[in-house]
Copies of this chain bind each other. A is one copy, B any other.
């Protein structure tokens, strides 16, 4: 048995049985056991969230919008006159990530940063005409493809129950 260079044998204490079991293991094509992870809410939440985001990206392929970009455009639309920091904080996006996301949206002419006349250090965000039209198409795609498929999977009542529980966690946990 060879210990890899990243795990010099001297430094690690692995039981002899486990070590032999591990190194002799013949090729095994069965799916792995995830043990107590299947009951761990955080794990299952993350797996579900990744699946939902993947589907969102597929549905939005023609418009090339990520879930985060879609959320930013909606917040800009719904909150005229509010600044960059407020939008980022509301969505829980870190400043450096938010700045680079806005760079991307601006370079595609979907939104603009406008220096505030009241506080010249602060930037107010506004949709461009193109941003407004892309957002309107995006909302239709989300409703017709993405949310419709989720509705089908969970049933309308299931979907509402799920939204309620998740909102409760987001608000109160």
Interface residues of A in 1-44 (CB under 8 A from B): 1-4, 6-7, 11-15, 18-19, 21-28, 31-44
CA of A117 to CA of B24, assembled, Å: 6
CA of A1 to CA of B49, assembled, Å: 41
Contacts of A79 in B (CB 8 A): 32-33
Contacts of A169 in B (CB 8 A): 48, 51-52, 150, 153-154
Interface residues of A in 65-122 (CB under 8 A from B): 67, 71, 74-75, 77-82, 86-87, 90, 92, 102-103, 106, 109, 112-120
Contacts of A33 in B (CB 8 A): 75, 78-79
Interface residues of A in 125-141 (CB under 8 A from B): 125-130, 139
A50 at the A/B interface (Cβ < 8 Å)? yes
Contacts of A173 in B (CB 8 A): 48, 51-52, 55, 149-150, 153
A158 at the A/B interface (Cβ < 8 Å)? yes
Contacts of A120 in B (CB 8 A): 2
A66 CB, nearest partner CB in chain B, Å: 11
Query: 30 A–B contact pairs at CB < 8 A?
Result: A2-B114, A3-B115, A4-B112, A4-B115, A7-B112, A7-B113, A12-B106, A12-B112, A14-B114, A14-B126, A18-B127, A21-B81, A22-B126, A23-B117, A24-B81, A25-B81, A32-B78, A32-B79, A32-B90, A35-B74, A36-B139, A37-B74, A40-B142, A42-B53, A42-B56, A42-B146, A48-B166, A51-B169, A51-B173, A150-B169
Chain A contact residues, CB within 8 Å of chain B: 1-4, 6-7, 11-15, 18-19, 21-28, 31-53, 55-56, 67, 71, 74-75, 77-82, 86-87, 90, 92, 102-103, 106, 109, 112-120, 123-130, 139, 142, 146-147, 149-150, 153-154, 158-159, 161-163, 165-170, 172-173
